[in-house]
Structure 1
Amino acid sequence: MREQYAVIKILNEQEILINYGILDKAKRGDKLRIIEPGPDIIIDGHFYGKLDAIKEYIEVTTAYDQFSICKKIVRKQSYALSPLSMLKTTYSYENMNVDATQIDKDLKVPEITPIAIGDIVEKY
């Protein structure tokens, strides 16, 4: 199981504080995710984990002893030489050939709610 921390303060729409700091070995660039807890996945008595929804991926930008400032960082590639050299990748999803009688209609990923104080944060 991953170590879990929590959102302890929301500074603005770009910065949050989490209770993960230098004393926990936090450093700039650490990658974290804020989750919405989901149901346990137990099959034939074996626990596989939880089907959590991921609210956001964030990074530590400044670490203090007992907390860190975290932001969502978006990296974009751009080609400065020529607009013709810009490449765009698109993704789509296609249905798989599955046995429809085995689809679990009760198991759902939890609905994602806005980030709030107390939300669970995991290092990944």
Structure 2
Amino acid sequence: MDKNAIGYIVEIPNEYTVIINVGEFSVSVGDKIYIYESGKIIEDPITNQKLGQYDFIKETVEVTEVYQEFSVCKKVVRKKGNKISIAMTPLLQENIYVTYDELKVNPDENKHWAISNSLISIGDPVKNKIS
């Protein structure tokens, strides 16, 4: 198991739910869990010091149920307003979204990293902090 992992995906009951092999002694309801693919070790090009590992985050989920040896996680989306107002005024809702603009990077130094498999699968590692 990856040294950053606290566990991994053990079941996928449906398209809304994953089960991880991490129980009540390690997580609580409401904790964020990151499903990821292990990435590259980052080294300082000047000192050659290993700075850590860059992982590709597949998805961020939240613990919704905790059992002794496993936990149920779902992707939780929180919206302002009540269901009736959201249903009645979908065009009036002001949605905030984030985009990222391209940087002017040296093309000779661009490594073109990419996640190899963005689908969540049984066996994918999980962690509870970005590190």
TM-score when normalising by structure 1: 0.79
Give the equivalent residue in structure 1 for 2:37.
Answer: 36
Secondary structure of the 1:23 match is coil
- Name stretches of at least 5 consecutive residues in structure 1 with no aligned partner: none
Amino-acid identity (%): 31
Query: Secondary structure, in 3 states, of the residue corresponding to 2:96?
Result: coil
Distance 2:15 2:102 in 1: 36
Using the TM superposition, name which of 56-65 and 79-88 deviates more: 79-88
Query: 2:85 aligned with 1:88, yes or no?
Result: no
1:76 and 2:79 aligned:
yes
Q: Distance in 1 between matches of 2:50 and 2:121?
A: 28
Q: Structure 2: which 5+ runs fail to align? A: none
Of 62-71 and 73-82, the range deviating more from structure 2? 73-82
1:65 paired with 2:68, answer yes
**Structure 1 residue 111, shift from structure 2 partner:** 3.3
Aligned-partner Cα distance in 2 for 1:95–1:71: 31
Q: Equivalent residue of 2:25, what SS? A: helix
C-alpha RMSD of matched pairs (Å): 2.6
Structure 2 vs 1, CA of residues 40 and 122 (structure 1 numbering), >3 Å: closer, same or farther?
Answer: same
Name which of structure 1's ranges 80-89 and 3-12 shifts more when overlaid on structure 2. Answer: 80-89
- Is 1:12 aligned to 2:14, yes or no? yes
Aligned residues: 121
The aligned amino acid for 2:43 is I
Provide the rounded CA distance (Å) in 2 between the counterparts of 1:109 and 1:68.
Answer: 29
Q: Secondary structure at the match of 1:29?
A: coil
CA distance in 2, matches of 1:4, 1:36: 13
- Shift in Å, 1:87: 2.6
Distance 1:5 1:48 in 2: 23
* Alignment partner, residue 122 of structure 1: 127
The CA deviation at 1:107 is 5.5
SS of equivalent residue, structure 1 residue 22: coil
